[in-house]
Amino acid sequence: MTPPLDDIDRLMAVMAAAFDPAYGEAWTRRQVEDALVIGNCHYILVDATGAAPAPDTPAAGFSLSRTGFEEEELLLFAVAPQYRGRGLGKTMLAMLAADARGRGARRLLLEMRRGNGAEALYRQFGFTPIGLRPNYYRMHDGSRVDAITFAATIDPAND
Ligand SMILES: CC(C)(COP(=O)(O)OP(=O)(O)OC[C@H]1O[C@@H](n2cnc3c(N)ncnc32)[C@H](O)[C@@H]1OP(=O)(O)O)[C@@H](O)C(=O)NCCC(=O)NCCS
């Protein structure tokens, strides 16, 4: 089912604010809509308090993930700059783990550009590196950066 338009508007507003254009990581609205229409992708939106945003309230953060067999892959994860450092990222990872477990996942996966400070958050949550794609990402300036794949087990004891 296609999500309500205002949810996509709010998600895209965070996307525009959160991703540095130098890395080319932000998705277009069309990419997000296409992912959500397929049915195996899920999103979380939070406001500045970590709750689901009320209809007339902007989002402070979002995640977009894809469900696979016993795995949930985090595709996009962002908090708008003015709301960072107050635990919203941590809150969304916990929400994602609970949702993913409800969908039958036993682990979370994500791929990260080497050097992204978000690694500290992921490691805190229990993610560990499981793979490397050398020079996988091409930066806006043409340089290349490795992609690191991380996984976290989400058995009940991990919450
Ligand atoms: C990654 C991101 C979502 C983190 O959001 P956040 O709400 O600031 O994260 P939290 O406040 O929950 O941080 C939790 C912990 O992780 C640490 N952390 C989070 N992001 C960090 C960063 N970029 N650099 C260093 N530490 C970071 C925090 O310091 C905090 O540590 P503490 O508990 O010891 O205080 C946010 O920085 C962001 O949107 N970045 C741009 C988009 C991006 O790179 N997304 C990830 C793609 S893989």
Question: What pLDDT, on the 0 to 100 scale, is given for residue 56?
Answer: 80
CA of 1 to the centre of ligand 1 (A): 30
pLDDT at residue 134 is higher than 90: yes
pLDDT surpassing 90 at residue 1: no
The answer to whether residues 127 and 89 touch, using CB atoms and an 8 Å cutoff, is no
Could you tell me if the CB of 27 is within 6 A of ligand 1? no
115-121 long-range contacts, CB within 8 A, separation 24+:
115/145, 118/77, 118/89, 119/148, 119/150, 121/89, 121/90, 121/93
How far apart (Å, rounded) are the C-alpha atoms in residues 22 and 126? 28
The response to whether residue 124 sits with its C-beta less than 6 Å from ligand 1 reads yes
Q: CB of 16 closer than 6 A to ligand 1?
A: no
- Residue 53's pLDDT is 94
How far does residue 85's CA lie from ligand 1's centre (Å)?
A: 6
Please state, in angstroms and as integers, the Cα–Cα distance from residue 41 to each residue in 37, 74, 82, 139, following that order: 8, 10, 27, 26
Cite the beta strand spans of the chain per DSSP E: 41-46, 61-68, 71-79, 107-113, 128-138, 144-153
Average pLDDT score over residue span 155-159: 55
Residue 157 pLDDT: 43
What domains are there in the chain, each with its CATH number? 5-158 (3.40.630.30)
Work out the percent of the chain whose per-residue pLDDT is above 70.
Answer: 94
This prediction has a pTM of 0.94
pLDDT tens digits for range 23-49: 889 999 999 999 999 889 999 999 999
Mean pLDDT (the chain) is: 93
pLDDT over threshold 60, residue 95 = yes
To the nearest 10 degrees (0 to 180), the angle between helices 5-18 and 29-38 is: 130
Which tokens is 119 given?
């690694």
